[in-house]
Each structure stands twice: as structure tokens, then as C-alpha cells.
């Protein structure tokens, strides 16, 4: 196997080869995922919830994402490492550039940030400075205060049209990939058909170009919160941590996961 590069992501979409992604926060899981042949590893700001025990991602800092990115990058060589810009680290171009540069220097190959609107200016600013970008739309957890909770997005016709427009806007601004979280399956399928860049779904149905789950969720761990319907316990399928990762990769690549019951109508 050769290491994943950013141009290979669009190639995979073109060939209809599903992309596999999970979150990791340390070297041991990074190593297991890399050895299993996982395509992408995300150092998500979900670490605020699963590592730190907060009830949102808002307290996560740039220092913390940089630290966990460096930990994963010690042990993952073929999987493409993506690091999240935490809350407000993308609020202005300069802060976003400083934080992104630190993450790339810690071993990330791509930077993820939530939202469209003025964030398109940030995406353009970073991508013009040779920083590969993964956008994140739909249920953007950093919007939890404005959303009033973790709710499926794009459900009525106007919201669906707005989300489609955001997706076109982030692609136009230079995003190389797009995570769609908690979006009705039919809308995610339509966005996936419309965009040239690959889409990665989480609670977005089976027709995205790839899938992502939070590590602790796919291991069937109790998060202390209600388990969302898109989560599947792969430890129960695979029997070990290595087996769970392998079972996840196999299920995403074969199209067995997500099943219809993991999505939203
Ligand atoms: O932080 C995270 O884990 C994420 C994924 C859920 C996409 O952003
Ligand atoms: Na995140």
C-alpha cells in the first residue's frame, strides 16, 4: 500500500471506491487503524466529549488538537490524517492559518472546519495557502448553542436547498472533501451526486462517497448520552479492537454499513 494523498481522494470518488474514516486521538489506535488499512484518520474535536468528558466540543483548544494530532501521527503512516479546527480557531483568517499550520507541522495532511457563509472566505484563504480542506456541514456540533441541541439538519425543503447551496459554496471556495453529519439520506445522496469532491457521511445515509464514525461509538461504548441511530457497535461484530476496525472497513467498502435504519428519512 502507498500512503494516501489528497488527490487520491477525488480519484477514489471517481472510481466509486468508498472511503473509510474513523476518529483517533492517540498513537495506539492510530497504529491499529493504519495497519488495518483505514483510509483517513480524524483527530476530531469530539475529543472534548469522549476524552475530556465535556458535554460539547466548545471547550477544545488548538493546543489539544495539536497534541493529539502529534500522538496519532507518531504511529499512522499510510492513513491520511485530518485535524479539526476547534471552536473559533477559524473565526478569522489569521488564527485559522496559524492553527492549521501547527496541525500540518504536527503531522496532519488536511484541516477540517465547520460551516459555510463567511467560513468560505476562510476556506479560500487557507486553500490558496496550500492547505487541503475538509468542510463539515449539516449538524455542525460547534453550532450547538444556536441549534439548541444536536438535531438533524436539512429536513424541510428550504433547509435542504440551503444546505445544497452551502455544499456548492464550500466546493467553490476550495474544499477538497466534505463531511455531512445528520442529513436526510436522500439529500446527502443528491449533494454527493452534485459535487466533484468526495462526501463523507455520518448519519447521512449509504450514498455518500465514504463514512466516518467516532471511535468510542463504533466500539459500542456508553457515551453518557443517548446513542444516535447512525451508530453501530463494530466491536460486537469484530470481537476485538483490530477486528472491529477491520469489520468497519469491510462493511463500509461493501456497502453493508450504513444500512437504511442508520439514516434519516
Ligand atoms: O469531531 C469529530 O469527531 C467529527 C466527526 C464526528 C465528523 O467532527
Ligand atoms: Na469535529
Measured CA to CA, the distance from residue 166 to residue 199 in angstroms comes to 13
Distance 44 CA to ligand 2 centre (A): 4
Which cell goes with 146? 444556536
Convert 189-203 into a string of H (helix), E (strand) and C (coil). HHHHHHCCCCEEEEC
Q: Kind and range of the H or E element at 114?
A: strand 110-114
Given the CA of residue 214, which atom of ligand 1 is nearest to it? 3
Contact status, residue 75 vs residue 38, Cβ threshold 8 Å: no
Per-residue pLDDT reduced to its tens digit, 8-67: 999 999 999 999 999 999 999 999 999 999 999 999 999 999 999 999 999 999 999 999
Count of H-run helices and E-run strands, the chain: 12, 8
Ligand sitting nearest the alpha carbon of 138: 1
**Is the full-model pTM beyond 0.90?**
yes
Using alpha carbons, list the distances in angstroms from residue 204 to 52, 81, 190, 264: 26, 22, 11, 7
6-262 to CATH, choices 3.20.20.60, 3.40.50.20, 2.30.31.10, 3.40.50.920: 3.20.20.60
Phi, psi of 143 (to 5 degrees): -95, 15
The active-site residue, picked from 66, 128, 157, 181, is 181
Q: Is 131 helix (H, G, I), strand (E, B) or coil?
A: coil
**Residues at CB less than 6 angstroms from ligand 1:** 23, 42, 44-46, 84, 136, 179, 181, 202, 212, 214
* Beta-strand relationship, 19-23 and 210-213: parallel
CA dihedral over 167, 173, 177, 182, signed as positive or negative: negative
**Sequence ranges of the domains in the chain:** 6-262
Cβ < 5 A residues, ion ligand 2:
44-45, 84
- Ligand closest to the CA atom of residue 85: 2
Determine phi and psi for 213, rounding to 5 degrees: -135, 155
- Which is the closest atom of ligand 1 to the Cα of 112? 8
Residues annotated within the binding site for Mg(2+) are 45, 84, 114
Full pLDDT tens readout for the chain, 265 residues: 789 999 999 999 999 999 999 999 999 999 999 999 999 999 999 999 999 999 999 999 999 999 999 999 999 999 999 999 999 999 999 999 999 999 999 999 999 999 999 999 999 999 999 999 999 999 999 999 999 999 999 999 999 999 999 999 999 999 999 999 999 999 999 999 999 999 999 999 999 999 999 999 999 998 888 889 999 999 999 999 999 999 999 999 999 999 999 999 9
Grid coordinates standing for 115?
Answer: 460551516
Q: Is 242 a catalytic residue?
A: no
Amino acid at each position: 500500500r502507498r500512503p494516501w494523498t489528497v488527490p487520491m481522494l477525488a480519484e477514489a470518488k471517481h472510481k466509486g471506491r468508498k472511503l473509510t474514516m474513523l476518529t483517533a486521538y492517540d498513537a495506539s489506535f492510530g497504529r491499529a487503524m493504519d495497519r488495518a488499512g483505514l483510509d483517513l484518520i480524524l483527530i476530531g474535536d469530539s475529543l472534548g466529549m469522549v476524552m475530556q468528558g465535556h458535554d460539547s466540543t466548545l471547550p477544545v483548544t488548538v493546543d489539544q488538537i495539536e497534541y493529539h494530532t502529534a500522538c496519532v501521527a507518531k504511529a499512522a503512516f499510510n492513513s491520511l490524517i485530518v485535524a479539526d479546527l476547534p471552536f473559533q480557531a477559524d473565526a478569522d483568517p489569521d488564527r485559522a492559518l496559524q492553527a492549521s499550520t501547527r496541525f500540518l507541522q504536527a503531522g496532519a495532511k488536511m484541516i477540517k472546519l465547520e460551516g459555510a457563509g463567511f467560513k468560505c472566505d476562510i476556506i479560500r484563504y487557507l486553500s490558496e495557502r496550500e492547505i487541503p480542506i475538509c468542510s463539515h456541514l449539516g449538524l455542525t456540533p460547534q453550532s450547538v448553542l444556536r441549534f439548541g441541541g444536536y438535531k438533524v439538519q436539512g429536513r424541510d425543503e428550504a433547509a435542504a436547498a440551503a444546505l445544497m447551496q452551502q455544499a456548492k459554496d464550500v466546493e467553490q471556495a476550495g474544499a477538497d472533501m466534505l463531511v455531512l453529519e445528520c442529513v436526510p439520506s436522500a439529500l446527502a445522496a443528491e449533494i454527493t451526486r452534485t459535487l466533484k469532491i468526495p462526501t463523507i457521511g455520518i448519519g447521512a445515509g449509504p450514498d455518500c462517497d465514504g463514512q466516518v464514525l467516532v471511535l468510542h461509538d463504533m466500539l459500542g461504548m456508553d457515551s453518557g448520552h443517548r446513542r444516535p441511530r447512525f451508530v453501530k457497535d463494530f466491536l460486537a461484530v469484530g470481537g476485538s479492537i483490530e477486528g472491529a476496525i477491520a469489520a468497519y472497513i469491510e462493511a463500509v467498502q461493501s456497502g453493508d454499513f450504513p444500512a437504511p435504519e442508520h439514516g434519516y428519512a
